[in-house]
């Protein structure tokens, strides 16, 4: 009986071991799934891992003060945990070792933002055009550059508006033009967004004239917002001087258009002299809606001729280029401009994408899609930017997760095993090899 009891206990112990092994396997799978489903922030939040990595990089720098990778990683790490003073020290030393590293451009720019130096930050973000196209930092740098520039323009306009009465028009140049959104006089709401599309196309066309300076749309939008033109962005004799002061533009270009129920299209374009508040030129073109894009070009050529500007053959050919012949694509593009001007970059991205799907050769929409996507990824406060980078570009890399899983599994497994008290018949694996455990036949059933 003793032998049978020992064998039974041995089987029970063996089965308990199998249960523990099975539990550890399940636990391992659970940890793997958990780590894969969690963001990279979980790795950044692991104190043991952070301490190990930081100590390793610090030791490397103590041995070699020119260790670029260690300097760079510490600079990025301290930015991601918002220790800006330490980050500045390591980022500056890393830049001394490699002044053209894209990641350092980005993190140094953000670091400067935290020290309230937006101009210097912009100078780093502006280096995006030096970064290879296949680098993920190029898009982030360009987006942050455009975003911060946008904020800077709004701040400048706000400051100018506060001292507008003291501003002078003496230094504004008549060759500096600001093209305002055109007014729509029809009844079909579907055509309202063309206001932005037409003004953008006219700006692009006029920018091809060598002797003209065309102000960017975002600056004009900032003035529209400042002067509460949102309901009616038209410029008249009263508002032209004020808009010109804030924009530092000598000429304001504005106009209107109409699309009748009979599909007739009419567009008017004129300009205001900011210094004299007088209308300088006025032209109009009309025709069938199907010829809308040719008519838009005709009104630009008529405007330039009326203004007295002589074009070279090269300029004429450049202006004559029509980016799309598809009205639906142009409408979607125009809606994208409306959303972009309102700061709704995700919505703008959707409209630009739709425009490209309708007309894959509509390059202007493609360019807008790229820049809007960049801004969307890099917009927001500096704190939001760091939070995003901490998640999406952690300096504590995922490659350490395998070791984390292994260590945690081992520790948990050890803790579980330590709570299991082995029986007196416990054997080492070598002792169990070759042991055949055969239970005796069960006793016969009781007689009835």
pLDDT at 194 over 50: yes
Return the CATH number of the domain spanning residue range 171-322: 3.40.50.10070
* Structure token pair of residue 303: 């405007």
* Structure token pair of residue 273: 């002299």
Closest CA to 190 of 268, 289, 287: 289
Q: How many CB atoms lie within 10 A of CB 397?
A: 12
Residue 33 pLDDT class (50, 70, 90 cuts) = very low
Helices 345-358, 327-341: crossing angle, 10 deg rounding: 170
* DSSP3 helix / strand / coil % (the chain, rounded to 5): 65, 10, 30
Determine the distance from the C-alpha atom of residue 392 to the mean position of all C-alpha atoms in its chain, rounded to a whole number: 12
Tens-place pLDDT, residues 214-250? 999 999 999 999 887 645 566 776 788 888 889 999 9
Q: Regarding beta strands 213-214 and 183-184, do their DSSP bridges make them parallel or antiparallel, or are they unpaired?
A: unpaired
Alpha-carbon span 20 to 226, nearest angstrom: 70
Question: What's the whole-number mean pLDDT along residues 432-448?
Answer: 47
pLDDT given at position 90: 98
Residue 24 pLDDT class (50, 70, 90 cuts) = low
Q: Write down the residue that tokens 């960017």 correspond to.
A: 216
Residue 46 pLDDT class (50, 70, 90 cuts) = low
* Structure token pair of residue 243: 């808009």
Tens-place pLDDT, residues 150-175? 999 999 999 988 887 666 667 788 99
Closest CA to 396 of 83, 74, 46, 43: 43
Q: In whole angstroms, how far apart are CA 114 and each of 7, 75, 109, 369, 386?
A: 71, 14, 9, 29, 11
Closest CA to 265 of 240, 299, 226: 299
Residue 18 pLDDT class (50, 70, 90 cuts) = low
pTM of structure: 0.76
Closest CA to 28 of 409, 416, 438: 409
Tens-place pLDDT, residues 399-439? 444 344 444 444 444 443 344 333 333 434 434 444 344 44
- Residues forming CATH 3.40.50.10070 domain(s) in the chain: 171-322
Q: Are 235 and 252 in contact (CB under 8 A)?
A: yes
Q: Of 54-63, 74-83, 237-246, which range is least confident?
A: 237-246
Question: What's the whole-number mean pLDDT along residues 308-316?
Answer: 96
Rounded to 5 degrees, what are φ and ψ at 109? -60, -45
H/E stretch holding 282: strand 278-288
pLDDT given at position 410: 45
Q: Regarding beta strands 264-273 and 278-288, do their DSSP bridges make them parallel or antiparallel, or are they unpaired?
A: antiparallel
SS3 238: coil
Number of helices and strands in the chain (H, E): 19, 6
Residue 275 pLDDT class (50, 70, 90 cuts) = confident
Return the CATH number of the domain spanning residue range 48-161: 1.25.40.10
Q: Write down the residue that tokens 């406060």 correspond to.
A: 381
Q: Are 143 and 378 in contact (CB under 8 A)?
A: yes
Q: Regarding beta strands 251-259 and 264-273, do their DSSP bridges make them parallel or antiparallel, or are they unpaired?
A: antiparallel
Q: What is the overall mean pLDDT for the chain? A: 83
Tens-place pLDDT, residues 328-351? 999 999 999 999 999 999 999 999
pLDDT given at position 40: 39
Residue 39 pLDDT class (50, 70, 90 cuts) = very low
pLDDT given at position 431: 40
Rounded to 5 degrees, what are φ and ψ at 273? -85, 115
pLDDT given at position 242: 84
pLDDT at 49 over 70: no
pLDDT given at position 163: 81
Alpha-carbon span 109 to 88, nearest angstrom: 10
pLDDT given at position 173: 87
DSSP string, 117-137: -HHHHHHHHGGGGGS-TT-HH
Tens-place pLDDT, residues 124-146? 999 999 999 999 999 999 999 99
* Structure token pair of residue 56: 């390793």
pLDDT given at position 154: 95
- Residues forming CATH 1.25.40.10 domain(s) in the chain: 48-161
Which has more confidence, 10 or 344? Answer: 344
Which has more confidence, 434 or 211? Answer: 211
Handedness of CA 199, 200, 205, 210 (dihedral sign): positive
Q: What percent of the chain has pLDDT over 70?
A: 74
């Amino acid at each position: 009986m003793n032998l049978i009891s020992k064998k039974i206990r041995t089987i029970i112990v063996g089965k308990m071991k199998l249960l523990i092994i099975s539990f550890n396997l399940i636990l391992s799978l659970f940890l793997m799934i958990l780590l894969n489903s969690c963001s990279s922030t979980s790795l950044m939040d692991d104190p043991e891992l952070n301490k190990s990595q930081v100590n390793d990089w610090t030791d490397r720098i103590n041995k070699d003060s020119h260790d670029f990778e260690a300097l760079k990683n510490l600079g990025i790490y301290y930015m991601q945990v918002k220790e800006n003073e330490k980050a500045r020290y390591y980022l500056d030393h890393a830049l001394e070792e490699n002044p053209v590293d894209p990641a350092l451009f980005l993190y140094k720019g953000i670091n400067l933002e935290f020290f309230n130096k937006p101009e210097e930050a912009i100078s780093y973000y502006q280096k995006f055009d030096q970064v290879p196209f296949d680098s993920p930092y190029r898009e982030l740098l360009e987006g942050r550059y455009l975003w911060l520039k946008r904020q800077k323009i709004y701040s400048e306009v706000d400051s100018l508006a506060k001292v507008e009465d003291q501003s002078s028009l003496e230094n504004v140049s008549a060759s500096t033009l600001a093209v305002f959104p055109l007014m729509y006089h029809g009844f079909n709401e579907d055509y309202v967004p063309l206001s932005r599309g037409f003004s953008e196309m006219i700006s692009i066309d006029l920018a091809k004239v060598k002797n003209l300076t065309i102000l960017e749309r975002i600056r004009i939008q900032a003035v529209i917002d400042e002067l509460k033109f949102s309901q009616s962005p038209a410029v008249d004799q009263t508002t032209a001087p004020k808009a010109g002061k804030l924009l530092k533009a000598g000429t304001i270009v504005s106009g209107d258009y109409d699309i009748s129920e009979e599909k007739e299209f009419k567009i008017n374009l004129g300009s205001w002299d900011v210094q004299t508040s007088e209308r300088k030129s006025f032209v109009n073109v009309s025709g069938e809606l199907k010829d809308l894009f040719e008519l838009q070009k005709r009104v630009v050529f008529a405007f330039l001729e009326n203004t007295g500007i002589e074009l070279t053959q090269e300029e004429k050919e450049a202006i004559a280029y029509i980016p799309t012949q598809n009205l639906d694509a142009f409408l979607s593009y125009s809606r994208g401009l409306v959303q972009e001007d309102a700061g709704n970059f995700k919505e703008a991205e959707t409209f630009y994408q739709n425009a490209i799907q309708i007309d894959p050769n509509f390059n202007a929409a493609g360019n807008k899609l790229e820049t809007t996507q960049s801004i969307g990824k890099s917009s927001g406060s500096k704190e939001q930017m760091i939070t995003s980078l901490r998640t999406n570009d952690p300096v504590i890399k995922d490659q350490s997760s395998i070791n984390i899983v292994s260590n945690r599994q081992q520790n948990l497994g050890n803790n579980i095993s330590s709570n299991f008290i082995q029986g007196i018949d416990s054997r080492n694996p070598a002792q169990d090899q070759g042991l055949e455990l055969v239970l005796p036949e069960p006793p016969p059933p009781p007689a009835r």
